[in-house]
Amino acid sequence: MKYSEYSVVVIGSGAAGLYAALKISQQINLPEGVLIISKSTLDVSNSRFAQGGIVGVVHQNPEDKISLHVKDTLKAGAGLSEEKVTEYISAASDEVLNDLIQNGVEFDRDENGNLTFTLEAAHSMKRILHSGGDATGKGITEALIRAVRKDENIHVLENTMAVEILVSAEKECKGVIIYNELTGEHQVVYTSALVLATGGAGQVYKYTTNPECATGDGIALAYEAGAVVQDMEFIQFHPTALAMNPNSKNRFLISEAVRGEGAKLINKNGEEFMSRYSDKRELAPRDVVTRAIYSEMNLEHTPNVFLNASIIDQARLLKRFPTISGKCKDNGIDITKTPIPVAPAAHYTMGGIKAGIDGKTSLKGLYAIGETASTGLHGANRLASNSLLECVVCAYELADYLSFANLEIPKKIDEGIKKMIDVYSHSISGKEYDAKTLISKLKDVMWNNVGIIRTEKSLQAAQKEIEQMQKDFKRRRKCLNQTEYEYRNMLIVASLIIKGALERKESRGAHCRSDYRQTNDIALHSNIKIDRKKELEYVK
């Protein structure tokens, strides 16, 4: 087996991974440079598709205050967001967003050159910066990719997937096994700081706004390595994904910012229905709007409702949402005239690897940032546009932390690690699984039983199915191709979501149990952490 050594290895090329690699390279003098690995090309990530924008409590918007942003975040988080984490991230936003601008990210400005801010659901004021109208993720990632490619100290490995974390007997991360889908080769990379920036797990659901890379790999690898994960039951379903037909599974997002600009939700009879569900109507928190749409679809026996954006001034609508209007046009919808068919879809993984703002996890040498991590910012329900902010603030803090850390590459490799590596030096028996078909089955199980509304019965049914699928799939470690690895990881993530959802016998934020409608603040006002060794644990 080939091997290499880097002090810092970053896995994933979304906003979190790209910015971390860049800041580490800018701040730390590493003789061998930083390695960034991505399982597809650098430009493939959830981040690239982000539309609405990024929260910034920045000096350019003097009316806003950290305390207001914190209040909105805590309210949306339904009692589980950590106040100190929220305050820290909010307070850091000014410095970090201005550093992004220094690194080439261009946010939209008015004719006088001032930054423009928009409103999204559950924000008490306009504080969201955006780029290219509704192409914020593209704006941020393209600028960061340019900077990363220009930086000679950053080494890039594309089409390369992290498949196992190497952990010593002392529970320290020493490196990672990587797999190149194009050559079929496995390799070992030894490191003293392995940074997981592998994004969320929207792909475990049949309908999702997430691209195909979002298979929860980092969460599965970290859990298998013995790191603590938390809040896995909290999956955010975005209310408005384009639903042209029931078979379109990877659903294009219709940004919340369209509702922020005044669009209204209507049912198939053309009636506005949100006032029946919340006095905040279209700008109620995401989970509330999602359940309202879901209820309306069930009442009317329709696969979608509609978003009427035609009431917004035509010129403003087209200027503000060029990507959305273009995509709808490709599907035969002129959004200035015709309501857009929309339905909820899995969008964001609130839980993940338990990590600090600086990315530190429960395993020494292993760091997690961005959507794969769970810092406590989002609680039970993420406030719109807080995710990109968390990605960049945590990447920035991680670089700062590592600049003071001992980054000596491990020299002694114990017997346990040698055995782990050995698995990958041998070929495996058995023929390839039809992993695509198996993934499709898993997605159905999760959507039908662990979706927007859950019950004990549906969760137990899903648990039984997933356990059987895990038994039938014989590969726990080495697999034959990338899709098999992804299926293995998705099974692990699905089982973690179900475990948390079964345990949380209440409804809170995005986790809605029709058999436990109430929020139980006395018994369950805590995070559910899952540790492979200790299994479930509640921590206040």
Please check whether residue 328 is in contact with residue 342, taking contact to mean a CB–CB distance below 8 angstroms.
no
| Nearest Cα residue to 238 out of 271, 198, 205 | 205
CA triplet 152, 166, 170: central angle to 5 degrees? Answer: 120
Please check whether residue 198 is in contact with residue 511, taking contact to mean a CB–CB distance below 8 angstroms.
no
Q: Is 385 helix (H, G, I), strand (E, B) or coil?
A: coil
Q: Does 55 bind ligand SIN (CB under 6 A)?
A: no
Q: Does 52 bind ligand SIN (CB under 6 A)?
A: yes
Residue 132 or 262: the one with the smaller Cβ distance to ligand FAD is 132
Q: What are phi and psi of 115, to 5 degrees?
A: -60, 145
Q: Does 45 bind ligand FAD (CB under 6 A)?
A: yes
Give the integer Cα–Cα distance in Å for 250 and 402.
37
Residue 53 or 365: the one with the smaller Cβ distance to ligand SIN is 53
Residue 156 or 388: the one with the smaller Cβ distance to ligand SIN is 388
Amino acid at 253: L
Segment near ligand SIN (CB under 6 A); pick from 223-231, 250-258, 410-418, 457-465? 250-258
x/- site string to ligand SIN, residues 10 to 49, per CB under 6 A?
----------------------------------------
Helix spans in 214-285 (H): 217-225, 256-260
Question: 24, 44, 383, 421: which one contacts ligand FAD (CB under 6 A)?
Answer: 44
Residue 47 site contact among ligand SIN, ligand FAD, none (CB < 5 to 8 Å, cut-off depends on kind): ligand FAD
Question: 25, 28, 35, 52: which one contacts ligand FAD (CB under 6 A)?
Answer: 52
Q: Locate tokens 């929860």: which residue?
A: 216
Segment holding 294, helix H or strand E: helix 286-300
Which one of 281, 286, 454, 504 is the catalytic residue?
286
Contacts to ligand SIN from residues 349-408, by CB under 6 A: 384-385, 387
CB 265 to ligand SIN: min, Å: 14
Q: Does 257 bind ligand SIN (CB under 6 A)?
A: yes
Please check whether residue 300 is in contact with residue 267, taking contact to mean a CB–CB distance below 8 angstroms.
yes
Query: What are the percentages of helix, strand and coil residues in the chain, rounded to 5?
Result: 35, 20, 45
Residue 208 or 387: the one with the smaller Cβ distance to ligand SIN is 387
Residue nearest to ligand SIN (CB): 52
Please check whether residue 452 is in contact with residue 512, taking contact to mean a CB–CB distance below 8 angstroms.
yes
Residue 435 or 502: the one with the smaller Cβ distance to ligand FAD is 435
Q: Does 343 bind ligand FAD (CB under 6 A)?
A: no
Residue 36 or 438: the one with the smaller Cβ distance to ligand FAD is 36
Please check whether residue 276 is in contact with residue 223, taking contact to mean a CB–CB distance below 8 angstroms.
no
| Nearest Cα residue to 377 out of 99, 70, 140, 136 | 70
Q: Does 12 bind ligand FAD (CB under 6 A)?
A: yes
Q: Does 483 bind ligand SIN (CB under 6 A)?
A: no
x/- site string to ligand FAD, residues 237 to 276, per CB under 6 A?
----------------x-----------------------
Contacts to ligand FAD from residues 185-224, by CB under 6 A: 197-200, 209-210, 213-214, 217
286 in catalytic set: yes
Question: 108, 164, 233, 256: which one contacts ligand SIN (CB under 6 A)?
Answer: 256
The residues, any chain, with a CB within 8 Å of residue 396's CB and separated by 6 or more, are 19, 23, 92, 95, 96, 99
Amino acid at 455: T
> What angle, rounded to 10 degrees, do the helices at 83-102 and 66-76 form?
120
Q: Long-range pairs for 418-422 at CB < 8 Å and ≥24 separation?
A: 420/164, 420/166, 420/177, 421/1, 421/166, 421/177, 421/188
Question: 33, 53, 175, 339: which one contacts ligand FAD (CB under 6 A)?
Answer: 53
Residue 286 or 513: the one with the smaller Cβ distance to ligand SIN is 286
**Number of residues that this document lists for the chain:** 540
> What angle, rounded to 10 degrees, do the helices at 435-449 and 482-503 form?
20
What positions carry a catalytic annotation?
286
Contacts with ligand SIN, residue ranges (CB under 6 A): 51-52, 253, 255-257, 384-385, 387
Give contact residues for ligand FAD (rule: CB under 6 A). Answer: 11-17, 37-40, 44-47, 49-54, 136-137, 161-162, 197-200, 209-210, 213-214, 217, 253, 348, 370-372, 385-388, 391
